[in-house]
Chain A
């Protein structure tokens, strides 16, 4: 059974967590994620979930306790944003290397300094190389859907990795949206019960976890993580297909929007994809063949799918909501350009940094990007590879 409801992104994620009913949640408040822990605490206080809620004293401890709980054999979760994720940095890597299926929403917010509470993706990008799976969500519906699928992806025997579910701070987390929620029983059956493989609380089979790993094994263990990431691509697609059966919404690694015959395309994560799709529609009406590619999965990186989706376009703009300070563009730009390199068909790829610290991405900005792409397509010339949108220079 499906019901249409009006919820904010945070409420939608908390609702998903309630339906998943994890064994342990350890979390700490931070804007704009705070509502998730607050709402979830009230579920615990009102007996609406069976969860042991650990109100830790920091995000480092939140992830550390989630690691302890997951290693103990429990289905464990946490949630955070920005500084909280930065504080967790050390232990997120450990969660991944211990192959613990911890699902954690991250409500994307700019990293300090200067301190700022609004949306950008610098928090998530800081952990893109940590070995966790990263899903991105355009709106509350996708955040809700991603949370439910994340449990199945994380716990799949071929994967066993943490999954970070991203959504845009305030834009998605605090805006009221209409979405379809699935009934409790269907979600419960979909996520199933967690069956850990080796775990601390197995009285018959004690185990040592987190051992000291030297040059004779560390490398192989890292390689195994890569294999798990590779396997995750298939698993994410399978889970997406199964999810379609209970929701009517199918998910893959990327969303291709009007790319089949596109000349110019934009690549963008999370909520800005909505804006981009709207502008592409307008341009299509004017005869410009515009399309949008929205990676739903950023780690593992869906290189083949993206290459396939973009192989026919002439010019691509990658929109990054994070800086790398490499002076060569944003994080996703490097990935996309790398992806298209092997095609050897001279697709022009340019980069726009936008929205840092919550700066609005306006329709005019996106229109300008498409206009630039059209010029590049016509002239075959790129004047500036990396530009900034909506910035006072």
Chain B
């Protein structure tokens, strides 16, 4: 495992000049993932969304490796086409060096509109890594709900109104859906834990065949927390078990981090403007329901990982 100092010397492939908001999780995630591909040529595929729009404004690009954006819902298919080209051209001796293929999609481009394209690419077994930059809403179009948006969140299409208090449905468990594809490697990680991200990116890049990583990538604008607190907010997502860190290697589920004590979900919700309405007097039951959802998902995950299904000590 590389040290942070060593990693800081790896030549960056996603560089300054992009127009992501200050403190956007996407830039951090992308740099961490690409760092792990050190030593290989990389082609990045990217779905439409904040990352693409902010990093490739013609005639500029923030990408030092080859990059292709095609459309919103087809990063999976597009990168599988590039990988197929690589196989064909490599056989004919027409490519110099080895290449890795990494696709980035937002939660909208991955959980929702691009799910079919992603599923197809994974099922076909291309040697690719798909990274979902999950900021829990369609941020690029102005914070609309996606199937990754958590219960209760106030978005522009699940607004907290007088009768409906934000998003009514629980989040889709995309990481489990990807694991159900029986691909060699699936993981869920978060940027507060750089070692975890790095290790998982390395594994994903090393396995033969498709790999999927779901990264919690906070959006200060859409979540409405104090921008410099990105690491703290992500850490709270992990400590409250809202966003567990785990991996599924060749079908074997493994929990990568177990919080020492029971941190209530309020701690994650409270600093964020998108959940502010939940803290109005009379809405206690809403938070209680969210807590129950988090706890039951946690217990189910522990069971899948072969751990004793119990909540952390309070």
Contacts and interface: CB of A to CB of B under 8 A. Distances in A.
A214 B60 CA distance: 12
Contacts of A66: 81
A210 B94 contact: no
A261 interface: no
Interface string B158-179: 0000000000000000000000
Contacts of A56: 77, 80, 120, 124
Contacts of B66: 200-202, 206-209
A241 B119 CA distance: 46
Contacts of A94: 70-71
Nearest to B99: A201
A73 B80 contact: no
A71 interface: yes
Interface stretch (B50-58, B198-206, B266-274, B292-300): B50-58
Contacts of B59: 211, 217
B65 interface: yes
Contact of B81 (A60, A72, A208, A214): A72
B74 A214 contact: no
Contact of A203 (B67, B80, B96, B119): B96
B308 to A, nearest CB: 39
How extensive is the interface on chain B, given as a class?
A: 35 or more
Contacts of B58: 211-214, 217
A74 B117 contact: no
Interface in A15-52: 23-24, 26, 50-52
Interface string A208-243: 111111100100000000000000000000000000
A66 B78 CA distance: 8
A73 B89 CA distance: 8
Given A200-B82, A201-B66, A74 B74 contact: no
Contact of B43 (A70, A200, A204, A210): A200
Interface string B106-143: 00000000001101110110000000000000000000
A260 to B, nearest CB: 48
Contacts of B45: 68
Interface in A54-99: 54-58, 60-62, 64-74, 76, 90-91, 94
Q: Which of B64, B73, B79, B85 has the most CB of A within 10 A?
A: B85
Contacts of A212: 52-53, 56-58, 69
Given A50-B91, A57-B116, A201-B43, A68 B67 contact: no
Contacts of A51: 88
Contacts of A58: 116-117, 120
A61 B76 CA distance: 8
A50 B92 contact: yes
Nearest to A213: B58
Contact of A68 (B64, B79, B94): B79
Nearest to B42: A206
B68 interface: yes
A24 B92 CA distance: 13
Nearest to A209: B68
A60 B91 contact: no
A60 B80 contact: no
Contacts of B99: 201, 203
Interface in B181-236: none
B85 A24 contact: yes
B243 interface: no
Contacts of B84: 24, 26, 52, 54, 65, 68-69, 72, 74
Contacts of B91: 50
B82 A72 contact: yes
5 contacts: A54-B84, A57-B119, A61-B77, A68-B84, A211-B57
Interface of B: 41, 43, 45, 52-53, 56-59, 61, 63-71, 73-74, 76-89, 91-92, 94-97, 99, 116-117, 119-121, 123-124
Given A206-B41, A211-B58, 17 more contacts: A26-B81, A26-B84, A52-B85, A57-B117, A60-B77, A61-B76, A61-B116, A68-B77, A71-B85, A73-B89, A91-B70, A200-B82, A206-B63, A207-B67, A208-B68, A209-B68, A211-B57
Interface of A: 23-24, 26, 50-52, 54-58, 60-62, 64-74, 76, 90-91, 94, 200-204, 206-214, 217
